[in-house]
């Protein structure tokens, strides 16, 4: 892949056998990193999740998505964080939402694991200045900032490009069909990670892995000129 942007493939399956099957499949297909959606696992617990990631034996993002941001974890907030803390021993990154209680975020940071501090809005694209503030706060806390918002107009997607242009170490996604292209063009802004769909899409507008990999291996236009023009405007 000519781009330095890693393609992450989310795995959203109910049990260990399905998770390992899909993980092995996408490792063979050339994924750069996997995202284990812990909130999709039935009756997950710290030891189970740690064992699964250890057995996958491949760079993995441990995500136990908060219910308020589209997650499905059924346990308490204490249980959700305990699982992420256990995963920090074996995961490449732990994803934790910005709106998580600060003491819980601190407990994950204390493990020394690299973190993705994330924010999701499945209803709208907030004003650009508000999104700037979100990303700035995320970067103060973790290694990578992530903001994923829902686009209603093409102009919404341009705001996501503005974020990618302004900030390093940031994943910015415009969710929905109109915003699908932001997942591809993110590589031209040197985003650290972009997400592609596996068998199950976990967010609106995700592009399937094979298509994403094919596109990122092409260089159809001079994007350096595009980015320079975008920054000038």
Instruction: Report the interhelical angle of 77-87 vs 46-56 (nearest 10°).
Output: 30
146, 166, 190, 213: which one is catalytic? 146
Mean pLDDT confidence for 159-180: 95
Q: Is residue 1 part of a domain?
A: no
pLDDT in tens, 173-208: 999 999 999 999 998 898 999 999 887 655 666 788
- Asked if residue 63 is part of any domain, the answer here is yes
Which one is catalytic: 120, 140, 188, 190?
A: 120
Whether 224 maps to a domain, the answer reads: yes
- The answer to whether 91 and 53 are in contact (CB under 8 A) is yes
Query: Which residues does residue 61 pair with via DSSP β-bridges, in sequence order?
Result: 35, 93
Q: Is 148 helix (H, G, I), strand (E, B) or coil?
A: strand
Per the domain annotation, does 207 fall within a domain?
yes
Query: Around 29, how many Cα atoms within 13 Å sit in the side-chain half-sphere?
Result: 23
Contact 89, 64 (CB under 8 A): no
Residues of the chain with pLDDT > 90, as a percent, come to 79
Verify whether residue 54 is a known catalytic residue: no
Summarize pLDDT for 75-128 with one digit per residue, the tens. 999 999 999 999 999 999 999 999 999 999 999 999 999 999 999 999 999 999
pTM: 0.90
In DSSP notation, 60-110 reads EEEE---GGGT----S-HHHHHHHHHHHTTT-SEEEEETTS-HHHHHHHHT
Domain that residue 94 falls in? 6-232
CATH number of domain containing 61: 3.20.20.70
Which run of H or of E encompasses 141? helix 128-141
- Would the pLDDT of 29 be above 90? yes
């Amino acid at each position: 892949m000519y781009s330095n942007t890693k393609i992450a493939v989310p795995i959203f399956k109910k049990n260990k056998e399905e998770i390992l099957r899909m993980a092995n499949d996408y490792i063979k297909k050339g994924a750069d990193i996997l995202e284990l959606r812990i909130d999709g696992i039935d009756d997950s617990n710290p030891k189970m999740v740690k064992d699964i990631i250890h057995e996958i034996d491949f760079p993995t993002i441990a995500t136990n998505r908060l219910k308020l941001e589209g997650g499905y974890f059924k346990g308490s907030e204490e249980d959700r964080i305990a699982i992420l803390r256990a995963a920090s021993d074996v995961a490449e990154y732990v994803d934790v939402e910005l709106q998580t209680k600060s003491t819980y975020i601190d407990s994950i940071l204390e493990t020394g694991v690299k973190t993705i501090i994330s924010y999701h809005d499945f209803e709208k694209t907030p004003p650009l200045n508000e999104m700037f503030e979100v990303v700035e706060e995320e970067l103060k806390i973790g290694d990578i900032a992530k903001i994923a918002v829902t686009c209603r107009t093409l102009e919404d997607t341009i705001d996501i490009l503005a974020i990618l242009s302004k900030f390093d170490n940031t994943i910015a996604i415009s969710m929905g069909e109109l915003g699908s292209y932001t997942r591809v063009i993110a590589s031209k802004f040197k985003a650290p990670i972009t997400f592609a769909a596996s068998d199950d899409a976990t967010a609106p507008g995700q592009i399937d892995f094979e298509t994403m990999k094919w596109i990122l291996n092409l260089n159809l236009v001079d994007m350096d000129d595009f980015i320079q023009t975008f920054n000038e405007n």
